[in-house]
Chains A and B, each alone.
Chain A
Amino acid sequence: MMLIDPHAHMISRTTDDYVAMADAGIVALIEPAFWVGQPRTFVGTYVDYLSTIVGWERFRAGQFGIRHYCTVGLNSKEANNEELAEGVMDWLPRFALKEGVVAIGEIGYDEQTALEDRYFRLQLELAKELNLPVMIHTPHRDKKRGTSRSMDVCEEHGLDPGMVIVDHNNEETVAETLQRGFWAGFSIYPSTKMGNARMVEILRQYGGERIIVDSACDWGISDCLGVAKTAQLALDRGIPKQTVHMVCYQNALDAYGQSGQMQEADWLDPPAIDQRTLFEGNSILRGGREPHIEAPGDRRRTDHMID
């Protein structure tokens, strides 16, 4: 089964992870611009970070047969550093039209401060001007209110909910997100967000429409196989294959494909120029074998000290 991980911070991950993801069936992933753990104190480091996710990381993923897309934006934590935030806002329009940029994101609220609100709104306006989808990071603390408020602000700025992916949903937020017409993302990140057994129960209750599963894997304890393992568990527990296909592949493609920068042909039939520059070709599909899902431990060879 072909899978897409529409939220993965690969800049924080190893080559082992890329190999495991490709083996598990991930054909494409989206790397949202985010807080890298260490606060940035110069605009220049933020600019180089954005260059990295549109450039080097995209190339690196291609070496493993995975197509890499990204979203660009000023995250909510760093929106609280006004000097940095102003600088980043000056540069953002230069990055929003780069190859493979599929949305403005991840943006939204962290502590729901006035500065977070200001830069969230400015970026919603930028997305509207450039006709790009938006990826919203909903806060970990005061989540339910923060999620409602994020959607209120989108509506206030006249965004079409069909262009907005509200991410990091849980059992408490999903009903409202879907009812208001937004895409509902779920990050399989057990300690703070969502576990895959809980995810399967949500699929049982809500079906697959407008639901998107991602791993949100980053520098914390997280699993780059979050999407693959959830797909497997859902199938094992009797969720219809069609539903699994929607939430682990098709919905992400439909939502972010609205940018015009992401299409199935990118991995099924990559243009020659992409193969020469960015993408080494998809060994999984070329080989014609079924991708398999494995636990990270399984791929660690015991004799890896000897060539």
Chain B
Amino acid sequence: MTQAADLLRNWVLAQAEDEADWIVRSLARIASATQERDLFIFMGLAPRRLGKADLALGAEDLDAADAACPGWSPEGWSVDGAARVLAILTAPATRIFADRFKDLRRTADVAEMIALYRGLPLYPDPDSLHFEVGEGLRSNIKAVFESIAHRNPFPRDHFDEHRWNHMILKALFIGSRLTPITGLGARANPELARILVDYAEERIAAGRPVPQDLWIPLKPFRGDPAVAAILRQEEVAQ
């Protein structure tokens, strides 16, 4: 049991009320199971048993999360989502993890999908999950996209530059904020700056507003004449 799983377990149990016994029994069964049926059933029952309230976390909980897994922020996680990730972390490694994840992902409802992707920084063998993450990024369901893009260190830690840049660009296109993206400043790069300048020029030409947080990944490149020009234009516009 990892440190992160211990934290999830404590948080979920703290909010489980009458269902605490059910959780403990179910997790014990999942941990010793040779089949996956118990895991699948638990995934279905979690919101029915536990409800969908947000986890009630204090500053010390968030610090503990960051200590257990650098960059991990469970802020905004729901109790059923946390229980689902906990169950995934509890199931024994009887299959390749990415195969199990694929099976869960392809039949997931929206809330389940969000939980699956929010758990990304906690799973084993992260580099085996690139295909699965790509499927989530292509989703047009904003909350699914944001479960990967927002408050999740997985993109910062594991995306190559191409995927990182296109995640930022897609966020702009679907009206998702950039500020909650973990590593937004740290992973700024010249190619992204070029893409964002083009994007900003396109918006200005169409008479549309340019999102404010676009300037965060641009500012490190203000030495570049094209970047400087667009920043100047925007300052004038304000």
Contacts and interface: CB of A to CB of B under 8 A. Distances in A.
Interface of A: 47-48, 50-51, 54-56, 58-59, 91, 94-100, 260, 271-274, 276-278
Listed residue (B48, B106, B107, B109) with the most chain A CB atoms within 10 angstroms of its CB: B109
Interface stretch (B38-46, B186-194, B195-203): B38-46
Contacts of A277: 110-111, 114, 143
A55 B113 contact: yes
Interface string B126-159: 0000000000000011010000000000000000
A51 B110 contact: no
A104 to B, nearest CB: 14
A27 B40 CA distance: 31
Given A55-B141, A97-B45, A260-B48, A273 B109 contact: no
Q: Is the interface of A mostly helix, strand, loop or mixed?
A: helix
Q: Which of A54, A91, A100, A277 has the most CB of B within 10 A?
A: A277
A91 B40 CA distance: 11
Nearest to B44: A97
Contacts of A56: 140-141
B54 interface: yes
A276 B143 contact: yes
Main secondary structure of the interface of B (DSSP, over half): helix
A257 to B, nearest CB: 14
A59 B141 contact: yes
Interface in B52-93: 52-54, 78
A217 B131 CA distance: 37
Interface in B9-62: 40-41, 44-45, 47-48, 52-54
A94 B42 CA distance: 11
A97 B41 contact: yes
Nearest to A98: B109
Interface residues on B, range: 20 to 34
A148 B108 CA distance: 37
B54 A55 contact: no
B110 A273 contact: no
B109 A54 contact: yes
B107 A91 contact: yes
A235 B52 CA distance: 40
Contacts of A99: 47, 109-112
A71 to B, nearest CB: 14
B107 A278 contact: no
B78 A273 contact: yes
A97 B54 CA distance: 21
A100 B106 CA distance: 17
B80 to A, nearest CB: 9
